[in-house]
Amino acid sequence: MTAFLLAVLGLSLLIALAFVWPLWCPPKESCTDLRPVQDDDWLMLEQQRANGELNKDQAEALRQDLARRMAEEEKTAPALASAASGRLAPVLLGTALCLTLTLSAATYAYLGRFDMVNGVQPDSPMLADDMVHKLAARLAANPDDKAGWAMLAHSYYVLGDYDAAVDAFARIEPSLDEEPNLLAEYGMALVMAPAGKQPHPPLAILQRAIAHNPDDSALHVFIAQTLMEAKDTARALAHLDKARQLETGDPERLRFIDMMSEAAHEQAAHSNNKARP
C-alpha cells in the first residue's frame, strides 16, 4: 500500500506541474512599451494646442497617433483576455485531476485491502475463523510445526475458544518458556476453559509465567483465583494485594480485585469458623 501511495503522490505532482506550468511561465506576447491611452492624454493635447505649444500640424499628428493606439488597444484586449482564460483552464483541470487522485489514495489508505470493498473486514469473525481453520488443517498435515501451533493456540485464545487453545498450547508446552506471553496465555486458558481441560496443572503454568513477568497484574489475579479454589486464601490475598499495587490506573480492574479480595477474606473467615471446636 505504501508503494501505491507514493506512486499516486508522484503522479499528482507531475500532473500539477504540467498544468500549472503555463501559469508560471506565460507565453510572451507582442506589445509596445507605451502605456494605455487615457482621457488626460486628449485633454493635454487640446491644452497644448490652445496655449500655442503645438501648431496645427503637430496637434493633428499627435491626435492621429492617439487614435491609432486606442484602436490597437481595442484589438489586443480580447486576445489578452482569451489567453488568460486559456491559461486558467488547464490549471482548473489539473486541480480536478489532483483532487481525484488524492481522494483515490485516501480511499485506498482507509480500506487498506481491496477485498474490504466487498464488506469483509480483516478482523471480522468470519475471516478470522476461516484463517484459523486453514491453519488447523495445515498443522494436521504438519504436526511438528511448533511455530504454527503457537500461532494457532494464540488465535484460539484471542477468539475466546479456550478449550481449543488449551489443546494447541499443550502440544508445545515444553517450549513455552521461550515465549513468556504465550506461557501466560496458556495458564489463563487452563483456568478459563469451560470443559475443565487441564493437560497441565494451571497453578504450575501460571507460576512459571509470572517468573518471567512478575509485574503482570493479570497473572497475579489468575494465580489468586487458582489458590482460592485450592482454599489457600493467605497466598491468594498476597497475590491480590500485589495485583492491586500494580493496577493503579484502571478503576474497573481495581473494583474486580477488591471484590476478589472480599471473597478471599470471607473464605478465610469461613474456614476459621469451621476450624473452631
**φ/ψ (deg, to 5) at 120:** -100, 110
Per-residue confidence (pLDDT) for residue 204, from 0 to 100:
94
Asked if 197 and 163 touch (Cβ cutoff 8 Å), the reply is yes
Residue 256 C-alpha from the chain's centroid? 33
Per-residue confidence (pLDDT) for residue 43, from 0 to 100:
73
Per-residue confidence (pLDDT) for residue 32, from 0 to 100:
44
Q: Kindly report which listed range (12-16, 90-94, 115-119) carries the lowest average pLDDT score.
A: 115-119
| Most confident listed range (27-36, 165-174, 248-257) | 165-174
Q: How confident is the model at residue 41 (pLDDT cuts 50, 70, 90)?
A: low
Q: Would you tell me the crossing angle of helices 2-24 and 56-111 to the nearest 10 degrees?
A: 180
Q: Rounded to an integer, what distance in angstroms lies between the CA atom of residue 192 and that of residue 110?
A: 36
Q: Kindly report which listed range (35-44, 71-80, 120-129, 145-154) carries the lowest average pLDDT score.
A: 120-129
